Chains A and B, each alone.
Chain A
């Protein structure tokens, strides 16, 4: 049976949130998407909704996506988390690696979001995702 998943999207841009929601629906239309528009709200929505997968913008007012990922990682050591950014600098890559955080490159596309979601499903299920 196909698993129902909840994905938390945290991005200060409405455009980016819409693009991510569309890409997630394209990957699996049964999945639920919850959104937050900054890091602080992201933390609250995470605690309230207990999502399976998290995608966070790096560059937001207030705490950065990486700082948010650090806080989420303290609460859940295994949840798949991706930083969604065009700013994939080596220094940011190293910090992300320490937190076991992946990247989804901006501009957002169905392909790069799909790759991350597929990888996340494998990590959660321990097997290949269902078609």
Chain B
């Protein structure tokens, strides 16, 4: 909360953003659950202001064997990157759950990129659409990109909107299923100018409803 206070964020603004992300990820979980025909369990969204270096270190320590991820950049009222991340050993569990009884086992590897990109598209867009609709933001979403077994630097590299040293908004939600062993998380990153714009939008939204 100290970092939020330093950037003039109030407790109500953090609460509102957490709730909006909670709704977005709830819609996403419903969609994913329909796709894999299984209950999807979610963690409470964790929203922090951290440096990009901290994000790298954290993701690396949680995924020492590497990660697979789908990411989608968004731009407009606010700019940033959304990503669906899996520990490398768990990403194929999702592919199997999605394509079971649809394609033969030996075709699944070929389908991995398409399948995970589509899941990323569905999940990340549900979150982005909820944020945009609730706060009346204009957000354009780029095509999902899939990286198998990439280091965390790949997720953060090639992204000129995320500053390396300055504070970025970080929102993470873990999701998992019990039967098929799907385990991953949704991550949102916003660079500092967008963090400020988002705070203003949240304040306008709160003034309207309170």
Decide whether A and B are members of one complex: yes
Known A-B contacts A14-B12, A89-B40; A107 and B30 likewise in contact (beta carbons under 8 Å): no
Query: In whole Å, how far is B33's beta carbon from the nearest beta carbon of chain A?
Result: 4
- Tell me, yes or no, whether B121 is within 8 Å of chain A by CB: no
| Cβ contacts under 8 Å, A88 to chain B | 30
- Tell me, yes or no, whether B161 is within 8 Å of chain A by CB: no
Query: Would you call B40 and A106 a contact (CB within 8 A)?
Result: no
**B156-181 residues at the A interface, CB under 8 angstroms:** none
Which positions in A face B, CB cutoff 8 Å?
12-16, 18-19, 22, 58-61, 85-92, 106-107
Out of A22, A59, A89, A106, which one reaches B209, CB within 8 Å?
A22
Q: Is the interface of A mostly helix, strand, loop or mixed?
A: loop
A87 to B40, CA, bound (A): 9
Question: Can you report 5 residue pairs joining A to B where beta carbons are below 8 Å apart?
Answer: A18-B209, A59-B22, A86-B130, A89-B33, A91-B33
- Tell me, yes or no, whether B27 is within 8 Å of chain A by CB: yes
Residues of B in contact (CB 8 Å), total 25
A92 to B18, CA, bound (A): 22
A90 to B39, CA, bound (A): 7
Query: In whole Å, how far is A66's beta carbon from the nearest beta carbon of chain B?
Result: 11
Query: Would you call B15 and A89 a contact (CB within 8 A)?
Result: no
| Cβ contacts under 8 Å, A12 to chain B | 44
Query: Would you call B209 and A91 a contact (CB within 8 A)?
Result: no
Known A-B contacts A19-B209, A59-B42, A91-B33; A86 and B15 likewise in contact (beta carbons under 8 Å): no
